[in-house]
Structure 1
Amino acid sequence: MINQLYTIYDYQGLAKDLIQQYKLVGDVAIAQIFQLPRSIMKQYDYVIPAPIHPNKLAKRTFDHVTFVLDSQNIKYTQIFETEERLKQSDLSKRARALQHNPFKIKRDLELENKKILLVDDIYTTGLTIHRLAELLIVRKIRKIDALTFARG
């Protein structure tokens, strides 16, 4: 389903510490570290971030993915919403895979023959990206790629 996965950092050591400081403590200045490659971003008709549930957004006070996009003036289109779900990092790979797809398309766009870039913070099992792609694949999209801040 995903043609190409781009990542900026390996999710270990300092990169892992910085991502946790950014997401969990709300140190938004760290967003500057995640410089997204403009040459890659320009290749896509739509840049679509992974969604955050409203309850998590209220608790965290910012959307950690779209904040990076906004801070770099990268145009994106949010078409997804998500059900509230357990924290993925607390689940085993098997437990994650057994959950139903928590994502839905909330905004319908004409995506046929378009190139889509999905953006998320961390790619571990790939389940979030692949579940988002599942919802898009039936729309005869030319290409679906993904970009994450880190891969672990």
Structure 2
Amino acid sequence: MYYTIGEIAKKVNISPHTLRFYAKEGLLPFVERSESGIRMFKDEDFQWLMIIECLKKAGMPIKDIKTLIDLTMEGDATIGQRLEIFKKQKEAVEKQIAQLQETLDLLKYKCWYYETAKKAGTCAVLNTIKMEDIPEDIRPVKENLKKVRKLY
């Protein structure tokens, strides 16, 4: 079964404009065209589009996605190169997740900090709070902040 650009856009939740951009950038060499030049997507093209979207969300530049697609189109001789590209992107995403986790932990700490200060009516209450009175999941952030403060 074939799908038009509008039909496939609805199915994969990507705008037709984005699909046309992908085509212009060379990301859709696998898409067939009708005799009149209309792009005709097949069921197998869903997987390609999902991979492209995954890599975009993972922060991979369009030019690198194109390189990966070109390598894929070359066949099995490029399996090792493709594997390395995916490993590198996986590592980049893992690093980003770790950074986001640190950010989330600090935000949780600051929420606890201001909730505690609001209940007491002052931030001064936090100057005398004992470590054991700080929620267990927030303590590492508090300890890290103390270390950073000592460095300056």
TM-score range, shorter chain: under 0.3
Q: Which has the higher strand share?
A: 1
Question: With CA pairs under 8 Å and 6+ residues apart, which has the higher RCO, 1 or 2?
Answer: 1
Q: Which has the higher Rg, Structure 1 or Structure 2?
A: 2
Specify which structure has the higher proportion of helix: 2
Taking structure 1 as the reference length, the TM-score comes to 0.26
